[in-house]
Amino acid sequence: MNPHRHVALPFLLALAASLAFGEQALAGADPLPSWNDGPARKAIVGFVHTATDESNPSFVPPAERIATFDNDGTLWVEHPMYTQLAFALDRVKALAPDHPEWKTRQPFQAVLENDLETLAASGQKGIAELVTTTHAGMTTAEFEAIVTDWLAKARHPRFGRPYTELTYQPMVELLTYLRANGFKTYIVSGGGVEFMRPMTEKVYGIPPEQVVGSTIETRYEKKDGRPVLMRLPHIDFIDDKAGKPVGINKFIGRRPVAAFGNSGGDREMLEWTGAGSGARLMMLVFHDDAEREYAYGPAGGLPDTKFGTFPPSLMDEAGKKGWVVISMKNDWKRIFSPAP
Amino acid sequence: MNPHRHVALPFLLALAASLAFGEQALAGADPLPSWNDGPARKAIVGFVHTATDESNPSFVPPAERIATFDNDGTLWVEHPMYTQLAFALDRVKALAPDHPEWKTRQPFQAVLENDLETLAASGQKGIAELVTTTHAGMTTAEFEAIVTDWLAKARHPRFGRPYTELTYQPMVELLTYLRANGFKTYIVSGGGVEFMRPMTEKVYGIPPEQVVGSTIETRYEKKDGRPVLMRLPHIDFIDDKAGKPVGINKFIGRRPVAAFGNSGGDREMLEWTGAGSGARLMMLVFHDDAEREYAYGPAGGLPDTKFGTFPPSLMDEAGKKGWVVISMKNDWKRIFSPAP
């Protein structure tokens, strides 16, 4: 008989007890400390319990635990304008010395004169011209370097912090909580894929291959004998509104079981997610906190906005379909992530 | 003092020894049993050791371990024709009763008369018409069901087995070996994404979200009040040749460190992969085994082919750039995966 057997057993039991204690301590630590104990938080925790409980008929196998998040206004600030638009305006100003013709050509003139009203009047066509001008004509590697440099230096006009610090701490906790429960977290945004990828891993823990967004065309060529991908001034795909389920199907190929947005641009993504079977969670961030962030959205009688509008019809649909509306004012203890 | 301490220590040592023995036993099991001990196998094992050795200057951090695989002719059989083309031809025949006009309209007439020469003469335009006709006009869910059903019933004309069993066992072992070493394995194929996704998880262990391929346009709509994605008869993206680095950049957003192909359609993917820094592995499967599979490729003085041609210029580039050419005849002990 193994002489260690009798003594090893109590040791193992002690070890097991200590491991169990460690797990309990871990389970006891609140994974969502920035969420008030309201209906939104309860919906999240309830969903995760259901989805991960094998004995529950709505159990979701790990491979199917796909959660998709809009970015602007859902994970980080989108006012006074989309961060990517702020980037495009800064690029126009940086490139202006090489383009004297822009002084008298719209929409560039409006940008150079900080005339946002005229810029807005140029509509989608004007914005598309801004984007293709400032986001194309370089290699993908060059663009990544430009974005990375800009994100490091640019500051938000109201909060004076880098945009990458103006992420919503409760949502970052939610991402982490879902991943700890076997979910694969994706961004599905109207923003440009290659504008987001340089920062999503560091800021959200979401790797580049889990970022779905709008794309411009690229072309493979040789430059000084080395292969490069050149960014062309043509929009390839717009990942917004009805484009979101299309993008999800194209890039991911699975229907999400949880989806998070904050505007009319996310409606179809939530519908598509909700139309599947098994445990589901659809949530909309509602910007009703002018003091700590911004308040906008005609659905709540708040001012309408060009960026991230939340129409009354979306609030109606949310009510009918059981989508959970997150009140930033009431559901969140804090808004932004702490300074690093 | 803990009375268990003195006895627990030898127990732990014994436990450690037994774990170490277990690991050794595991390391001793050959992860690539279908590969002969030749240069191809040595290149694979050498690459994995280098990429995963933290003390090696060419070490690749786990997050960057992206390996991309062509599908047709690299992971499964592509002769006498691409599996997806066999599917399209079968679909034409299945749909023909509803389309009497096809009897006298090319390329449909050629398909119905099994006249592959006339079909081939219809060129890319003819094939595109076949694909859009047979792959569109239904929802994504309906298409998935059609593909799944066909894959279960169709048999390869020479081997008499389902196409999903005509996967190359040495490559399946390679996929598993790479994943066991922290690599994320992707398919990057000229084939249709939604033709492949229904089978890649089961057949290769590659989940749908890691399949990159050609796409057709889809449109989000409501059908009987439920959201669906309708497949439209328009090609969205061709993931072949110079399109492969474009697809990799769009879908994955990282440059692979290892890439595997078998034809001129994979050249740019291997160039793009090889142009990065750190450990790299680029390999080409060469079909030189007429007895166990097929022999084609003018590079080896073998017959040329419409499906998966391997031109002499590709063999030259492989030689110059250190890409490893896998001889199916000499490097593989067996070709196909065992029947389940």
Residue to test with chain B: of A220, A221, A232, A254, most B Cβ within 10 A:
A220
Write out chain B residues lying below 8 Å of A226, CB-based.
275
Look up residue B244 and give its amino acid: K
Is the pLDDT assigned to residue B1 strictly greater than 90? no
Q: B229, A245: Cβ pair inside 8 Å?
A: yes
What does the pLDDT read at residue A27? 56
Strands (E), B224-268: 226-237, 258-261
Least Cα separation, residue B36 to chain A (angstroms): 34
Radius of gyration of chain B (CA): 23
Q: pTM value?
A: 0.91
Residue of chain A whose Cα is closest to the Cα of B62:
A207
pLDDT digits 0-9 by tens, B126-152: 888 998 899 999 999 999 999 999 999
Nearest-by-Cβ selection for A268 from B14, B220, B252: B220
Write out chain A residues lying below 8 Å of B280, CB-based.
none
Confidence category of residue B124, pLDDT binned at 50, 70, 90: confident
Mean pLDDT across chain B: 92
Range 113-142 of B in CB contact (< 8 A) with A: 140
Mean pLDDT of all residues in A15-28: 47
Mean pLDDT of all residues in B101-106: 95
pLDDT digits 0-9 by tens, B213-270: 999 999 999 999 999 999 999 999 999 999 999 999 999 999 999 999 999 999 999 9
B9: closest CA among A18, A1, A11?
Answer: A11
Is the pLDDT assigned to residue B14 strictly greater than 60? no
Q: A251, B249: Cβ pair inside 8 Å?
A: no
Least Cα separation, residue A204 to chain B (angstroms): 15
Nearest-by-Cβ selection for B272 from A194, A208, A227: A227
> Is-contact B216 B136, C-beta < 8 A?
yes
**Would you call A1 an interface residue with chain B, using a CB distance cutoff of 8 Å?**
no
Q: Residue A3 CB: number of other CB atoms within 10 A? A: 10
Confidence category of residue B121, pLDDT binned at 50, 70, 90: confident
Q: Is B137 left (phi over 0), alpha (psi -120 to 50) or beta?
A: left
Write out chain B residues lying below 8 Å of A14, CB-based.
4
Nearest-by-Cβ selection for B271 from A227, A246, A271: A227
Confidence category of residue B120, pLDDT binned at 50, 70, 90: confident
pLDDT digits 0-9 by tens, A65-98: 999 999 999 999 999 999 999 999 999 999 999 9
A111 class by beta-carbon count within 10 Å (0-12 exposed, 13-18 middle, 19+ buried) = buried
B123 vs B226, higher pLDDT: B226
Q: Tell me the residue length of chain B.
A: 340
Residue A309 dihedral angles phi and psi, to the nearest 5° = -70, 140
DSSP A80: S
Mean pLDDT of all residues in A35-47: 98
What does the pLDDT read at residue B340? 80
pLDDT digits 0-9 by tens, B156-204: 999 999 999 999 999 999 999 999 999 999 999 999 999 999 999 999 9
**Would you call B272 an interface residue with chain A, using a CB distance cutoff of 8 Å?**
yes
Residue to test with chain B: of A1, A2, A7, A143, most B Cβ within 10 A:
A7
Residue to test with chain B: of A68, A217, A239, A246, most B Cβ within 10 A:
A246
Least Cα separation, residue A293 to chain B (angstroms): 32
What does the pLDDT read at residue B204? 98
Q: A4, B4: Cβ pair inside 8 Å?
A: no
- The Cα B240–Cα B313 span in angstroms is 17
**Would you call B218 an interface residue with chain A, using a CB distance cutoff of 8 Å?**
yes
B5 vs B156, higher pLDDT: B156
A28 vs B116, higher pLDDT: B116
A230 vs B340, higher pLDDT: A230
pLDDT digits 0-9 by tens, A287-336: 999 999 999 999 989 999 889 999 999 999 999 999 999 999 999 999 99
What does the pLDDT read at residue B313? 97
A231 class by beta-carbon count within 10 Å (0-12 exposed, 13-18 middle, 19+ buried) = buried
> Is-contact A257 A51, C-beta < 8 A?
yes
Residue B250's H or E segment, with its range, is helix B243-251
- Strand-pairing partners, residue B32, are none
Q: B193, A140: Cβ pair inside 8 Å?
A: no
**Would you call A225 an interface residue with chain B, using a CB distance cutoff of 8 Å?**
no
Residue of chain A whose Cα is closest to the Cα of B198:
A253
**ipTM (interface predicted TM):** 0.91
Nearest-by-Cβ selection for B7 from A8, A14, A243: A8
B268: closest CA among B243, B297, B249, B287?
Answer: B243
DSSP A35: B
Write out chain B residues lying below 8 Å of A192, CB-based.
none
B207 prior amide bond cis, ω within 30: no
Is the pLDDT assigned to residue A116 strictly greater than 90? no
Q: A140, B249: Cβ pair inside 8 Å?
A: yes
Mean pLDDT across chain A: 92
- The Cα A166–Cα A294 span in angstroms is 13
Nearest-by-Cβ selection for A4 from B10, B208, B251: B10
Question: What strand order describes the sheet that includes B258-261?
Answer: B226-237, B211-223, B184-192, B66-69, B258-261, B281-286, B324-327
Confidence category of residue A22, pLDDT binned at 50, 70, 90: very low
Residue A261 dihedral angles phi and psi, to the nearest 5° = -145, -165
Confidence category of residue B275, pLDDT binned at 50, 70, 90: very high
- The Cα A67–Cα B322 span in angstroms is 41
Confidence category of residue A14, pLDDT binned at 50, 70, 90: very low
> Is-contact B33 B333, C-beta < 8 A?
yes
Least Cα separation, residue A70 to chain B (angstroms): 17
Residue of chain B whose Cα is closest to the Cα of A193:
B250
Q: A63, B218: Cβ pair inside 8 Å?
A: no
Mean pLDDT of all residues in A42-58: 98
Q: Residue A262 CB: number of other CB atoms within 10 A? A: 28
- The Cα B51–Cα B61 span in angstroms is 8
DSSP B104: G
What does the pLDDT read at residue A19? 46
Least Cα separation, residue B52 to chain A (angstroms): 20
Confidence category of residue B27, pLDDT binned at 50, 70, 90: low
Q: A246, B11: Cβ pair inside 8 Å?
A: no
A213: closest CA among A93, A120, A82, A311?
Answer: A82
Confidence category of residue B12, pLDDT binned at 50, 70, 90: very low
Count chain A–chain B contacts defined by CB atoms under 8 A.
98
Range 14-53 of A in CB contact (< 8 A) with B: 14
